[in-house]
A and B are shown apart, each in its own frame.
Chain A
Amino acid sequence: MKLALALILAPAFAAADPRVEAALDDDILPGFAALTQATQALADAQTCDVADAWNTAAAAWVAVSHLRFGPSEADNRAFALAFWPDPRGATPSALTALLGEDAPPIADASIAGRGFYAMEFLLFDPAFAGEAGRCDLIAGLADDANASAQAIENEWQNHYGDLMRETGNGTYRDDTEALQELYKSLTTGLDFTTAMRLGRPLGTFDRPRATRAEMRRSGRSLANVSVSLASLQSLAVILGGDSLSADIQARFKVADDQIEAIANLDGGPDLSIVSTPAGRIKVEALQQRIAEIRVFLAETLGPDLGVIEGFNAMDGD
């Protein structure tokens, strides 16, 4: 009887696309679970000497930072976790304002003063080292980040994952749309790493901008590039399937090797190496390798998933 019922019911549930299933189960959901866990550890710390816990949590964020749709975007959660780039230096001023208040409600504060980038200032910038209230604010920001991470994970677990699995809803009309959303996050992530994580410190040849590197105070700049590429590779391989995965892995490997070559040099981890012509060339080469991955995906994986990137559609202006 049970079996018969199962057979009758089976056709009613169209099987989700295996690539979407794998992306959710092997990549996205574990990624957000790791973020919740890492921010929980950060929030649970009984001291404000939390550089290690912050490092783990910041890496967990970077690993999911390209998934800027659905639960991350609701209630500006991603912005509250990560306000960067910050070309006008809004974060230090927002922190100074928060430090001037007694037990400020963090969730209502300016997003520039919240999240991992704000915490990095408090933990690593000498300008904030002696500030009264620094420890309390670190704890407050950690709680706030944990609340955002938890909210994102809950929504993925309880709602959004199903929208992608069981398409034919208002968000994803079919599996192709869900695949295209994942593909878009992949290319957006590659573009962000090329243009922001590497492009900002590179500046121009005449004027490199080492102080614009992401999380340079903690020396995570190059590590963030590495973490983001690892995560993007994992998603690309899932989407690419058997036919493309070897090619995809080979291309990411070339970029990884270039990261290795930079990591061991003086000024590599915080990318301050861009200030010397010899160092700059190495970072430009890394940027180029990532751009090549992007082109490869646009020429192979994109069309595979029905994404043809139009001249105007891509301009976004």
Chain B
Amino acid sequence: METRRGFLAGVLASGLVPMPTWADVGDPTFLSAARTPDGGYILAGLDARGSIRFRIPLPARGHAAAAHPQRPEAVAFARRPGTFAVVLDCRNGDVLARLDSPQGRHFYGHGTYDQTGEVLFTTENDFEAGRGCIGVWDARRGYRRIAELPSQGVGPHDLRLMPDGTLVVANGGIDTHPASGREKLNIPDMRPNLSYLDVDGQVLDQVEPSAHLASVRHLSVRNDGLVGIGMQWQGEVAAAPALVATHRRGEVLREMGDGRRLDGYVGSVAFSGDSGRLAVTSPRAGVVQVFDLDGDGTEHCFEDKDVCGVAGTTRGLICTNGQGGLFSIANAAAHLARHDLAWDNHLVSLA
């Protein structure tokens, strides 16, 4: 037995056994979770035409997924305030690892790998202290938890890897506690922010939106380091300010649009693949707003019921909705496909 194990280890180390890649599951361009007609939940891989390349079951409704940069592995997080996430083999749905948040922490539903795929970062709540933190997990060794960083704010939701390997975190500012579910505990004095962190936890930059009731929630990062931001308004919809912004580290926040048109709520945000546009979705208002960043900042509005997922494609953008539909936005919106599924929250781009 000793010999056999030694032999296998040697084979693995020498790379003779090919590592699985995303090509093994049909080279999908995006991942999205969905609800099936019978009330089950799945994770699907999609291509740019809206066809499904793979689908595997999920144990429960998830929030976002994080995709491994090389291996066909995805981390699916339970909805907040969930205390577990599963790492799934997208070839067959096998659970490769299970991440349990440590005592006193719960997940917020987003995570990201570093460029090498060796480390996974997750947004979490240190709920007795009401402080946000980032869990650091070793993806090489069965997703062992190796460190924890302060998120530099309350209620971190989305986090992304910057092109230089640092992190950007959307600290929504909203304090919750699992004993009271999703009930918001500090609206009168919430202080959302966008924080840039080194992977050792050092703060590199931090900005706050001009209105303290604008919860910084979802992010998209362009390859030149520009960050797109989608916010959610915690006041009266009729008083909602701009809820979309871009930011570059070291500069001021550039807020844009009219939050009232979004019913005070942004569900997802993404840069277009050609980089010149930033799109946000609002399932509550049933609209996609697309801002022209290079030109005069014109915004275009596309109406679509329960639209929420959005991601960039080579030529533009692709969106998903709760009725199973997928459509692309180049100059106009064009229907791509419709599946007998309800697409959930986010459409995750594979690098």
Minimum distance in angstroms from A302 CB to a CB of chain B: 14
Contacts of A310 in B (CB 8 A): 283-284, 286, 305-306, 322
Is the CB–CB distance between B79 and A308 below 8 Å?
no
For the complex, is A316 an interface residue (Cβ under 8 Å from B)?
A: yes
Is the CB–CB distance between A85 and B79 below 8 Å?
no
Complex CA gap A25/B210 in Å reads 38
Q: Residue-by-residue, is A46-90 near B (CB-CB < 8 Å gives 1, otherwise 0)?
A: 000000000000000000000001100100100100000111100
Q: Residue-by-residue, is B250-272 near A (CB-CB < 8 Å gives 1, otherwise 0)?
A: 00000000000000010100000
Minimum distance in angstroms from A194 CB to a CB of chain B: 10
Which B residues, 128 to 146, have Cβ-Cβ distances below 8 Å to chain A?
128, 130
Complex CA gap A311/B261 in Å reads 20
Is the CB–CB distance between A199 and B181 below 8 Å?
yes
Which B residues, 146 to 180, have Cβ-Cβ distances below 8 Å to chain A?
157, 177-180
Contacts of B342 in A (CB 8 A): 311
From B130, B179, B267, B343, A212 is in contact (CB under 8 Å) with: B179
Is the CB–CB distance between B187 and A87 below 8 Å?
no
Complex CA gap A70/B238 in Å reads 10
Minimum distance in angstroms from B129 CB to a CB of chain A: 9
For the complex, is A102 an interface residue (Cβ under 8 Å from B)?
A: no
Is the CB–CB distance between A69 and B236 below 8 Å?
yes
Is the CB–CB distance between B130 and A88 below 8 Å?
yes
Is the CB–CB distance between A312 and B187 below 8 Å?
no
Contacts of A43 in B (CB 8 A): none
Complex CA gap A209/B342 in Å reads 35
For the complex, is B193 an interface residue (Cβ under 8 Å from A)?
A: no
Is the CB–CB distance between B306 and A311 below 8 Å?
yes
Contacts of B179 in A (CB 8 A): 85, 87, 200, 209, 212
> Considering only CB atoms, which chain A residue lies closest to B188 in the complex?
A76
Complex CA gap A170/B258 in Å reads 13
Contacts of A76 in B (CB 8 A): 187-188
Contacts of B248 in A (CB 8 A): none
> Considering only CB atoms, which chain A residue lies closest to B128 in the complex?
A88
For the complex, is A111 an interface residue (Cβ under 8 Å from B)?
A: yes
From A170, A212, A308, A313, B238 is in contact (CB under 8 Å) with: A170
For the complex, is A242 an interface residue (Cβ under 8 Å from B)?
A: no
For the complex, is B73 an interface residue (Cβ under 8 Å from A)?
A: no
Minimum distance in angstroms from B5 CB to a CB of chain A: 41
Complex CA gap A69/B237 in Å reads 9
Contacts of A312 in B (CB 8 A): 267, 283, 306-308, 321-322, 343-345
Is the CB–CB distance between B235 and A73 below 8 Å?
yes
Interface size on B, residues (CB 8 A): 37
For the complex, is A291 an interface residue (Cβ under 8 Å from B)?
A: no
For the complex, is A171 an interface residue (Cβ under 8 Å from B)?
A: yes
For the complex, is B118 an interface residue (Cβ under 8 Å from A)?
A: no
Which A residues, 193 to 222, have Cβ-Cβ distances below 8 Å to chain B?
195-196, 199-200, 209, 212
Is the CB–CB distance between B187 and A79 below 8 Å?
yes
Is the CB–CB distance between B109 and A317 below 8 Å?
yes
For the complex, is B182 an interface residue (Cβ under 8 Å from A)?
A: yes
Minimum distance in angstroms from A3 CB to a CB of chain B: 38
Is the CB–CB distance between B177 and A196 below 8 Å?
no
For the complex, is B183 an interface residue (Cβ under 8 Å from A)?
A: yes
Contacts of A101 in B (CB 8 A): none
Is the CB–CB distance between A311 and B109 below 8 Å?
no
From B185, B235, B283, A313 is in contact (CB under 8 Å) with: B283
Complex CA gap A300/B121 in Å reads 43
Q: Residue-by-residue, is B299-312 near A (CB-CB < 8 Å gives 1, otherwise 0)?
A: 00000011110000
Complex CA gap A41/B286 in Å reads 47
For the complex, is A108 an interface residue (Cβ under 8 Å from B)?
A: no
Contacts of A87 in B (CB 8 A): 127, 177-180, 185
Contacts of B63 in A (CB 8 A): 317
> Considering only CB atoms, which chain B residue lies closest to A315 in the complex?
B345
Is the CB–CB distance between A85 and B128 below 8 Å?
no
Complex CA gap A70/B185 in Å reads 19
Which B residues, 325 to 351, have Cβ-Cβ distances below 8 Å to chain A?
342-345
Minimum distance in angstroms from A216 CB to a CB of chain B: 14
Which B residues, 72 to 105, have Cβ-Cβ distances below 8 Å to chain A?
79-80
Contacts of A73 in B (CB 8 A): 235-236
Minimum distance in angstroms from B126 CB to a CB of chain A: 12
For the complex, is B35 an interface residue (Cβ under 8 Å from A)?
A: yes
Minimum distance in angstroms from A143 CB to a CB of chain B: 20
From A79, A171, A311, B188 is in contact (CB under 8 Å) with: A79
Which A residues, 166 to 201, have Cβ-Cβ distances below 8 Å to chain B?
170-171, 195-196, 199-200
Which A residues, 278 to 317, have Cβ-Cβ distances below 8 Å to chain B?
308, 310-313, 315-317
Complex CA gap A128/B267 in Å reads 45
From B35, B181, B235, A196 is in contact (CB under 8 Å) with: B181
Contacts of B185 in A (CB 8 A): 85-88
Complex CA gap A196/B177 in Å reads 12
From B235, B238, B265, A171 is in contact (CB under 8 Å) with: B238
Contacts of B80 in A (CB 8 A): 317
Contacts of A199 in B (CB 8 A): 181
Nearest first, the 9 A-B pairs at minimum CB distance are A310-B306, A311-B322, A87-B177, A312-B308, A312-B283, A85-B180, A171-B238, A313-B283, A87-B179
Please list 8 pairs of residues, one from A and one from B, whose beta carbons are closer than 8 Å in the complex, sorted by A's number: A76-B187, A85-B180, A200-B180, A310-B284, A310-B306, A312-B343, A312-B344, A317-B109
**Known pairs A196-B181, A312-B345. 11 more at Cβ < 8 A?**
A70-B236, A87-B178, A170-B238, A196-B183, A200-B179, A308-B305, A310-B306, A311-B322, A313-B322, A315-B79, A317-B109
Interface of A with B (CB < 8 Å)?
A: 69-70, 73, 76, 79, 85-88, 111, 170-171, 195-196, 199-200, 209, 212, 308, 310-313, 315-317
